[in-house]
Amino acid sequence: MTNTFSPAHDYFLSDEVAARTAPRLRYPSPPAGLRWLRLQLRVLSAVAPELAFRQAWKLFCTPRRLPLKAWEVPALADARRRTVPYETGPVAVYEWGPAAAPAVVLVHGWEHRASFWRAWVQPLVAAGYRVVALDGPAHGASGGQQTTLMGFSGAVQAVVNTVGEVRAMVAHSFGAASVAGLPVRLPAGVPLPRLVLLSAPVGPREVAERFADFLRLPTDFVERFAAYVQQATGRPASSFGAAVAGPGTRAEKVLVLHDEDDEIIPFAEGRQIAAAWPGAELRATRGLGHNRILRDAGVVQAALAFIG
């Protein structure tokens, strides 16, 4: 089935024209595979609710490794490649630009990978920066089959610890949630000069609510989710929210970019983050949705001007 709910959906259409004209509705008529999955989980929830939750949690934490598109190969062709050890397996890292230049670290979203930053690399290099992008755990060329917000954040932190001078971090969607939710910090308490968050969710609970609604899960799923997160991490799920934990990044300036027509993460959540994060600036776009904001030339230039 075609998972138009996935944050990666329009990036895996055949070309840019197809992406621009893709319908924004998610499953106006649910495909058979989705209907069957919803039925399975509903029946399992009635007879074995704990088992149903574990199955739903596994789905929640398992990104699909979607096939490479032709445009991804040239996007990474001239990158310097290395790996960083991590508990779930090696994390693939890609770099462009002068090795001694200050770095801009790019953190992709759910079911994306480093190649999805193709629109950002050359403008940043032309501005004199070293660009560092990674494939998160269970994504792209990195190890692992499943990942969580905490696990993804830890991998980003492991990479940042190897980078040296960092001028900015730019993160999209789940990547933005991971950078702000741990939060990721520069070593030795050094302040992060600039942080750019694109299409960021306000917190894990809201993401879990959308997931539960999509799969028609029982009403207690979100409470089970919150209890499980607290048991596993020792922190309330709400403490991983971008606006709650994000200021711990010690970012000197924060830019929140969010599209008013985002069909995955409502624009209201970007507004909430900016309102609750002292000094954060919100800039709205229109007509770009959740993914096109990532490859829009105007957005890239706005972020570049902000990074300075």
Domain spans of the chain, in order of start: 72-203+241-307
Confidence of residue 31 (pLDDT cuts 50, 70, 90): confident
In this structure, which amino acid lies at residue 123?
P
Which DSSP letter does residue 201 get?
Answer: -
pLDDT tens digit sequence for 210-261: 999 999 999 899 999 999 999 999 999 999 999 899 999 999 999 999 999 9
pTM of the model: 0.91
pLDDT tens figures, 79-89: 999 999 999 99
Phi and psi angles of residue 6, each rounded to the nearest 5 degrees, phi first: -60, 135
Of the CATH numbers 3.60.40.10, 3.30.70.1140, 3.40.50.1820, 3.90.1010.10, which one belongs to the domain with range 72-203+241-307? 3.40.50.1820
DSSP H helical segments within the chain, as ranges?
Answer: 16-21, 32-47, 49-60, 72-76, 118-126, 149-160, 174-181, 204-215, 221-233, 242-245, 267-276, 297-307
First and final C-alpha spacing in the chain: 43
